Amino acid sequence: MKFIIQRELILKPLQKISNIISGKNFLPILNNVLIKVKKKYIKLIRTNLEIEIIIKIISCKIYKSGTTTVLARKFFDICRSFPELSIINIEIKNLRLIISSNKTKFYLSITSENNFPKLEIYTYDLQFFIPINLLKNLIKSTQFSMSKNDIRYYLNGMLFEFSKNKIKSVTTDGHRLSISNMFIEGIKFNKSIIIPRDSIKELMKFLDNKKDFLNIKISNNNIFFKIGNYSLISKLIEGIYPDYKNICLKQYDNFLQADCNKLYEAISRVSLLSNEKFKGIRLYISKNQIKITANNSSHEEAEEFLNILYEGNNIEICFNAIYILDVLNILKCDKIKLLFNNNFSGIQIENFLNKGSIYILMPMHL
């Protein structure tokens, strides 16, 4: 195996795969990157048995084909250490990977590709294309409320529901629920899948080309994403997602309209003196006014009044400030509306003019 490549052309792909979620890598070989050198291109492959990333590099000069594996992070650090625009020579000699540029040489231990997990061949039932910017916005709208390490494993991911010309993403951690809808032509099937949290995080690293399209293929157990020379394959979470539709408010007793930015700033200020662990704040809602308060174990307090549009009964309700701020930061609109029934029920937050996304927060008991 031997090829020559400019530093920048291999550095970015290595950077993308060197940081693949690796906390579950109980096999040492999973810390390696598989390098496949063909006649006209190079493939860099990385996996943790749940996510598989493949990056194809065409702009290089190949002298000899071959395949090997080497520690991904070490390979990346060495290539990064060379000056900008350096020409890097990479070859295998005497069972070692030699990386050289100008007068510098590195000799790395390698591991046979036979020890690398065999890449599965998948058969996909469904295929479609979607603009990258649409998928990126859809994920951003709900990503923050995915659960992390819930024993209800199906919550540690993002639910996608496909129907005619429509995609919906849903996440919940049991304390909050996020739902976002997006219309797109070309979806002609009905299907629900759950993509793991780590796979969503890896995918978002590559959704940076707003003008391009993403090719998506789905099977019963896996999902495949392809953007140009980059591919990601992820296992899907098996399980039945909670019936979130019953949580959405179909009827409500109280309706509140507020300035999104002013509410965000007020909560941000007041929460500075909230309990460091629970971040709880109180909302005292009365006619055309909210009083926001917080206190902590040091007997410190903060309060702020905010003008709103509200004609209902007086309500006192407590929330985690971070949860509200997450929602307001995603909405970033002029006006929002809050729908609720009483101080024990969840509160539903929406963009006043656009119902594309719905957020539901459960109250705290302080």
Q: What is each CA distance from 145 to 106, 161, 173, 179, 235, in whole angstroms?
A: 44, 17, 6, 10, 21
In the chain, the largest separation of any two C-alpha atoms, in whole Å, equals 81
Residue linked to tokens 């140009």: 228
pLDDT of residue 311: 87
| Reported pTM | 0.92
Over the chain, what is the mean pLDDT? 93
Residue 23 has pLDDT above 70, yes or no: no
Residue 22 has pLDDT above 80, yes or no: no
pLDDT of residue 25: 56
Question: What domains can you pick out in the chain, each with its CATH number?
Answer: 2-115 (3.10.150.10), 126-244 (3.10.150.10), 248-361 (3.10.150.10)
Q: What is the pLDDT of residues 153-172, one digit of tens each?
A: 999 999 999 999 999 999 99
What gap in Å lies between CA 177 and CA 242, rounded to an integer?
A: 11
Q: What is the pLDDT of residues 43-55, one digit of tens each?
A: 999 999 999 999 9
Question: Which amino acid makes up residue 181?
Answer: N
Are the C-beta atoms of residues 350 and 365 closer than 8 Å to each other?
Answer: no
